[in-house]
């Protein structure tokens, strides 16, 4: 079950959208460790060719967003939300560092991304 934290500190359960139309959201489940394994397989080119990997991780807009990931100078970052849930994962361009965060509380998306980035920075010192 996912939650929102109200301004008074209490929790509420958000209503869920019709998941049948949200492919990859309503029909896909994995643990944080499975997400790490997926990111590692992407990074090591085990599930994509080098050519496909380069296309996927090329910025497609001024925001730095490629095909599912934001392309930053030292890392690739992905962030997903659904009513009551928050997921953030990043991996270094070298494939040596991975950070995966799952939360069943969706509040303040910016702070969740900052936690991911802070952990990533600590690991890369």
Which residues make beta-bridge pairs with 68? none
**What would the pLDDT profile of 22-33 be if each residue is shown by its tens digit?**
666 555 678 899
User: Would you say residue 122 has pLDDT above 70?
Assistant: yes
Judged by average pLDDT, the poorest of 37-46, 57-66, 103-112 is 103-112
Share of the chain above pLDDT 70, in %: 83
Domain range for 42: 4-123
User: How many structural domains compose the chain?
Assistant: 1
One DSSP character per residue, 38-49 reads HHHHHHTTSSS-
Which CATH number belongs to the domain containing residue 101 in this structure?
3.40.710.10
Which residues make beta-bridge pairs with 99? 90
Predicted TM-score of the model (pTM):
0.76
Q: What are the structure tokens assigned to 101, written together?
A: 């965060």
In three-state secondary structure terms, 118 is: helix
Distance CA 88, CA 120 (A): 11
- Mean pLDDT of the region 60-67: 85
Counting every residue, how long is the chain? 125
């Amino acid at each position: 079950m996912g939650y929102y934290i109200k301004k008074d500190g209490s929790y509420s359960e958000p209503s869920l959208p019709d998941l049948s139309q949200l492919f990859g959201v309503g029909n896909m489940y994995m643990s944080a460790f499975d997400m790490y394994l997926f990111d590692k397989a992407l990074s090591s080119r085990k599930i994509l060719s080098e050519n496909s990997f380069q296309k996927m991780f090329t910025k497609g807009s001024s925001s730095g967003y490629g095909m599912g990931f934001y392309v930053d100078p030292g890392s690739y970052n992905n962030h997903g939300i659904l009513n009551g849930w928050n997921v953030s994962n990043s991996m270094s361009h070298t494939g040596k560092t991975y950070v995966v965060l799952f939360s069943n509380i969706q509040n303040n998306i910016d702070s969740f991304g900052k936690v991911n980035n802070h952990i990533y920075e600590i690991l890369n010192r």
